[in-house]
Amino acid sequence: MESLNIPNHVGVIVDGNGRWARERGLSRSEGHKAGADNMEKLFTYMINKGVKVISAYVFSTENFKRSEEEVNYLMNMIVHRFKWFLKKYSKENIKIVFSGRRDNLRADVIKVIDDLAERTKNNTKGIINFCLNYGSHAEIIDATKKIYEDANKGIIDINNLNEDLYSKYLYQDLPPIDLLIRTSGENRISNFMLWQNSYAEFYFPRTYFPDFDESAFDQAIIEYNKRDRRFGGINYENKGN
């Protein structure tokens, strides 16, 4: 059998935790816990399969619109899990980075994300980019402001601004997303990595995130391998679809 092409950078919009819980008569918090448990297993599996970079949308700038109780639960869970990730990802040789605005985040959240990034910065097996208090519009505005400042200081020449240089001003300088997965059946990207997704293949399974397991990811890879990525060119390939 022909071997499957594994996407280099996979974006994951973790969605459907609340509906998963509601269907089971559980609280939204229990849905978030089930989603987080699944995420730990799934991401290690994805990297073992050969994915080099995962960008995970775990909390958007807009998610602050939710109840104080839900936001607090999510932030407490992030602090708790990320402390455990210090051990987990050091052992698994996975580097952790963050994308998002730091203002509005609690001091204990900032501390744990900084510790995790520092402690895993030399790891080489793969990268997980946690997008936390992340919004793509905010990222593009923040990048543009930094470019303006650097141009004014003479650090860069604005005439040399191109896609590569612009990318370096985003929260993280990562390769483009090849495959974007959003669980739960919503067909939208909700302000997630507009720049990085420009040529991504979109995959929108109906499964709620807590149920999106290893075999569901294998299915996503099979689907990805049926796509004909042309990047504006005309190199048709017979993918049987």
**Nearest alpha-carbon partner for 165 in 176, 154, 156, 178:** 156
- Residue 15 bears catalytic tag: yes
Stretch 66-95 residues interacting with ligand IPE (CB under 6 A) = 74
Out of 5, 37, 63, 152, which one is annotated catalytic?
Answer: 63
* Partner from Mg ion, ligand IPE, none binding residue 13, C-beta < 5-8 Å depending on class: ligand IPE
Here the tokens at position 139 are 């990222």
Stretch 29-58 residues interacting with ligand IPE (CB under 6 A) = 57-58
The site map against ligand IPE for 167-206 (x = CB under 6 A) is: -----------------x-x-x-x----------------
Cβ 183 to ligand IPE shortest distance, Å: 9
- Residue 38 bears catalytic tag: no
| 14 part of the interface to ligand IPE, by CB under 6 A | yes
| 27 part of the interface to ligand IPE, by CB under 6 A | no
| 178 part of the interface to Mg ion, by CB under 5 A | no
Nearer to ligand IPE by Cβ, of 42 and 74: the residue is: 74
Q: What is the 3-state secondary structure (H, E, C) of the chain?
A: CCCCCCCCEEEEECCCHHHHHHHCCCCHHHHHHHHHHHHHHHHHHHHHHCCCEEEEEEEEHHHHHCCHHHHHHHHHHHHHHHHHHHHHHHHCCEEEEEECCCCCCCHHHHHHHHHHHHHHCCCCCEEEEEEEEECHHHHHHHHHHHHHHHHHCCCCCHHHCCHHHHHHCCCCCCCCCCEEEECCCCCCCCCCCCCCCCCCEEECCCCCHHHCCHHHHHHHHHHHHHCCCCCCCCCCCCCCC
Interacting residue with ligand IPE among 10, 13, 53, 220 (CB under 6 A): 13
Nearer to ligand IPE by Cβ, of 30 and 142: the residue is: 30
| 15 part of the interface to Mg ion, by CB under 5 A | yes
Catalytic (active-site) positions? 15, 63
Footprint on this chain of ligand IPE (rule: CB under 6 A): 13-19, 57-60, 63, 74, 184, 186, 188, 190
Footprint on this chain of Mg ion (rule: CB under 5 A): 15
